[in-house]
Structure 1
Amino acid sequence: MAAVGAAAIDLLSDIAEGKPRGDVLEFDIAACIGVDVNIVIDMLVEALTPNNGDAEIIRAALNSALEEALCKHQDFDPSNIDNSALMSLFETYLTESVFHWIVVESDKAFQKTDNAEEAIRAENGLKELISVVVEEAVGGLGLGDMSNLQVDALDKLHRDVVHEVLEVWEGYDD
């Protein structure tokens, strides 16, 4: 899962620089300029989502992250992909992937109550906790220009943040 977030940043950074990335994309990204950004997001999610057991989690996280990063404009334009968009993509992907992973791994722990409102509150509390931990972890790193980071460094950073979120989550009820 972590490698996909890093690959998404690497891909968007290259797209912003005009690199075609035929190694990842089975379509001409330059032909997507001016196309509804939601259609391009769907195409990018499809291209980046691996065919494995985590595909559903990755797809949901990527979709949310790409929407957050790219939907400030109705039509796709690689020149709109700046450092702020890459940072937004990274933080949202981290938050969403960790949230979905914990919910799936909790083996229906949020469904142990018969009270739907209580289950929703618990999920919202978890998501808020993850968001805060991600913001603190990423904000404290002083990342600077996201496009200059190597995929391996982004992958390690993602894994470190996941570890920190899990530590906080496990101690949340203590």
Structure 2
Amino acid sequence: MGTSQSHPGPGGKSSLVPPWADDQPQQPLPTPQSLRFKPFRQAFGNFVSTGNPSALKSALGHYARKSTGGRTTAARRLGNTVKAGAALYHTLTGGGSIADGDVAIDVGSLAGMPSEAAINSITQALTPSGGDSDKIRSAMNCALAEALDGVAIFDPNAITDDMIINTMIVYVSESIFLQVVQDAGQAWIKADTPSQAIAAENSLRELIKVEVDIHMAPMFSGNARSLTKSQIARIQRDVINAVWSEWEKYQ
């Protein structure tokens, strides 16, 4: 069934932000609401079984307001994703190491490799160990594969500004998508057939990508290559906040 799963997902008593994911641990967290995933999963199961866009929006409204504790908390839950995204950006722009012990890879050393092998080398180097590593690796692979679609041999000198921006849009979109998929848990079993589940995944992925694109593309405003670590991290957080702000309006 594509990316969907039968794992129950996190429980209602779990922390809104696991300590290993939080990139702003000095800030207090709100107390999770009781049964915070129930309305989200019920509405999401309805969406999976019917394909109704209204059910999807209702699910995401519950998810943003209650399940994840709101926009600011959501950005912190994706703290590891944001950090890895900064490393990906600086790798593509030739920024090299971005300090604080972060791993970087010289894309120049990958010149002449098959693009698939170059993508694997980049994701292997930049994916952190521990929590969220599988989601980060998957999101990076998806973003780089889309950016290099149709390119047989990797050439770092052929990486354009548009490719960098699109890579970051797809990376953040896919990271949000994978987090929603994980948190939906067994709501996916409402699909009667594998094709029904895949159709639901595609609808969710497209909705997220459109919203991320709307908010993220203008943030580069002609400055696709010279952003600092803190600037590209801030852009990612601001985009996550903006997406959650939109979802919080859904009823």
TM-score (norm 2): 0.60
Secondary structure at the counterpart of residue 93 of structure 2: helix
1:137 and 2:215 are equivalent in the alignment: yes
- State the partner residue of 1:67: 145
The corresponding residue for 1:24 is: 103
Within 5 Å, give how 1:39-78 maps onto structure 2: 39-78=117-156
Map 1:8-157 onto structure 2 (within 5 A).
8-14=88-94, 24-25=103-104, 29-157=107-235
Change (3 A) 1:115 1:36: closer
Deviations 1:23-56 (A, max 9, x none): 7357x64442211111011010000100021011
Which structure has the bigger radius of gyration?
Answer: 2
CA distance in 2 between partners of 1:95 and 1:45 (Å): 17
> Is residue 94–residue 158 contact of structure 1 (8 Å, CA) maintained in 2?
yes
C-alpha change, 1:108 and 1:144, in structure 2 (3 Å) is farther
Shift of 1:100: 0.5
Aligned sequence identity (%): 33
- In structure 2, what is the equivalent of residue 6 of structure 1? 86
The AA in structure 2 aligned to 1:53 is: G
Whether the 8 Å CA contact 1:37–1:74 is kept in 2: the answer is yes
Deviation at 1:156, TM superposition (A): 1.5
The 1-side partners of 2:134 and 2:182 are apart by 10
Distance in 1 separating the partners of 2:173 and 2:230: 19
Change (3 A) 1:122 1:71: closer
Cα separation, partners in 2 of 1:107 and 1:11, compared to 1, 3 Å = same
Hey, which of these two has a bigger chunk of helix by percent? 1
Q: Distance in 2 between matches of 1:8 and 1:68?
A: 15
Contact 1:38 1:71 in 2 (8 A): no
Please tell me whether residue 167 in structure 1 is matched to residue 245 in structure 2.
yes
Contiguous gaps of at least 5 residues in structure 1: none
Could you tell which deviates more after superposition, 81-90 or 162-171? Answer: 162-171
Check conservation: 1:20, 1:30, Cα contact below 8 A.
no
Give TM-score, length-normalised by structure 1. Answer: 0.83
Structure 1 residues 2, 95: closer, same or farther in 2, change over 3 A? same
In structure 2, the residue corresponding to 1:145 is in which secondary structure?
Answer: coil
